[in-house]
Amino acid sequence: MQRTVWISTMLYLATLATSAHSATDAKRETFGTMPDGARVDAVVLTNAHGATARVISLGATLQSLMVPDRQGKFANIVLGYGALDGYVKKSQYFGATVGRYANRIAKGHFTFNGQAYDVPINDGPNSLHGGTKGFDKVLWTIGEVKHDVNAASVTLTYVSPDGNMGYPGKLTVKATYTLDGDNRLSIDYRATTDRPTLVNLSNHAYWNLSGEGSGSVMDQRLTIAADAYLPIDATSIPTGEIRSVTGTVFDFRQAKPIGRDIRDGSEIQLLNGRGYDHNWVISRTMASEPRVVARVSDPASGRVLTLKSAQPGLQFYSGNFLDGTTVGTGGHVYREGDAFVLEPQLYPDTPNQPAFGSARLDPGHEYRNLIVYEFTTEPGGTSGR
C-alpha cells in the first residue's frame, strides 16, 4: 500500500514538472524581411505564469512584453510596432539595444588614447546612441535559444568592426534576454574588444504600465534612488556639474507622479530637455552587483516595475518627443508623455568629461551591464511608495 502511494506521488510530481516545463517556452519565428531581403527573426519567451517577451533580431530589440495587472489581466507594456516596417522607417529606439555609446557625445568628437575621433552627428550638433547606424539599426545573430522549468532565454550577438561609426576596435557584443518564473526580465549585455575602445550599452524600452497605447504615464509614480543629477545645456549635453536633487523637480527619492512637476516653467532644465531627459547619479562608480535604482507603480493597473542595475547612471526620459505621428503595436497613436524610458548606463559624454569616470574597455577585459526588470502588482488604493 505504501509503495503504491509512493509511486502515485512520484507520478503526480513528475506530471507537475512536465506541465511546468511545457508552460515555459522559447520559440523562434519570422518577424519580417529587410529591404535588402535579409530575414528578421523573433524569439518569444514564455514563463510558467503566461508572461511573454518577444525579442527581434533587428537591434536586439524588446518588441513586446505581456505581464498581468492586479486582476490577472495581461497587457503589452512596452511601446513598439506590430510589424517590421515601422522599425525600419522610424525606429525611435523602441525597445532597442543602443550603442556603441548609449546617450550623447558632444559634437560627435572625443580624444582617446591621444588620438582624435569623430563619430556621426545625428542629434542636433551631437552624436546619439552610436550614430546614424548604431546597434539599434543592425541585424544581430540569434544564438542559443533555451528554456527549462524556471526560465526561457535567448542570446543575440553582434560584431562591430574596427572603425564602425568612427569607433576604434572590433567589439563583440552579446545580449541575453531571460524571462524567469518570478516575472523578472533580465538583459545581460557583455562586450569584448581586440584593442582599446569605448563602450556604453543600454536598452531603450519605452514603458507604460497601464499598457502601450493606453494614454499618458504622468500619473504613474516614480522613485529614483539618487541624490544628484546632471544638468544639461540647450543641446542636452551635461554641463559637467553634479547637482543635488534636494529642493528641485528632479527629486524622486520619494515616489511621486511623473507629471507632478513636469510643467514647472521656472525650471530651465525642464525647458532644455522639453521635460525629463536627464541622467541621475546613482553612484560615482560601478557597483559590484545590481541594486535597485528605480521603481515605478501604476495606480490604475496595480503593476509595479522595479529596476536593478550596477551602472552608476540612470537616464530618465519622459517621452517628450512622441508627437502623435506613430501608430503602435495595438493600433493606437503615441503622443507626448505616453511612456517613460529608464536606461541604466555610464554618464552621457563621459569620453569628453574625465570627471565622470571612464568608458574605456581594454583587450582581455569584459564590459557588462546586467539590467533586471522585476514585475509585481499591488492592490488598489496604495500610495505606490
What pLDDT sits at residue 383?
40
Q: How far apart are CA 162 and CA 184, in angstroms?
A: 35
Q: In what order do the strands lie in the sheet with 74-76?
A: 25-33, 39-46, 52-56, 61-68, 74-76
Q: How far apart are CA 106 and CA 111, in angstroms?
A: 12
Is the alpha carbon torsion for 124, 129, 134, 139 positive or negative?
negative
When divided into structural domains, the chain yields a total of: 1
What pLDDT sits at residue 381?
58
pTM for this model (two decimals): 0.93
**109 in any annotated domain:** yes
The grid coordinates of residue 231 equal 544638468
- Rounded to the nearest 10°, the torsion over CA 91, 94, 97, 103 is 90
Per-residue pLDDT of the chain (385 residues; tens, 9 = 90+): 444 334 333 333 333 343 444 489 999 999 999 999 999 999 999 999 999 999 999 999 999 999 999 999 999 999 999 999 999 999 999 999 999 999 999 999 999 999 999 999 999 999 999 999 999 999 999 999 999 999 999 999 999 999 999 999 999 999 999 999 999 999 999 999 999 999 999 999 999 999 999 999 999 999 999 999 999 999 999 999 999 999 999 999 999 999 999 999 999 999 999 999 999 999 999 999 999 999 999 999 999 999 999 999 999 999 999 999 999 999 999 999 999 999 999 999 999 999 999 999 999 999 999 999 999 999 985 443 3
DSSP 58: B
Are the CB atoms for 69 and 75 separated by under 8 Å? yes
**185 in any annotated domain:** yes
Are the CB atoms for 273 and 234 separated by under 8 Å? no
**354 in any annotated domain:** yes
**115 in any annotated domain:** yes
b/e per residue 41-67 (b: at least 16 CB within 10 A): bbbbbbbbbebbbbbbbbbbbbbbbbb
Q: How far apart are CA 5 and CA 37, in angstroms?
A: 60
**159 in any annotated domain:** yes
CA 218 to chain centre: 19
3-class state of residue 372 by DSSP: strand
The CATH number assigned to the domain holding 187 equals 2.70.98.10
**336 in any annotated domain:** yes
What pLDDT sits at residue 380?
87
Which sequence positions are flagged as catalytic? Answer: 204, 343
Residue reference for cell 521656472: 266
**224 in any annotated domain:** yes
Domain, as residue range, for 206: 24-377
**4 in any annotated domain:** no
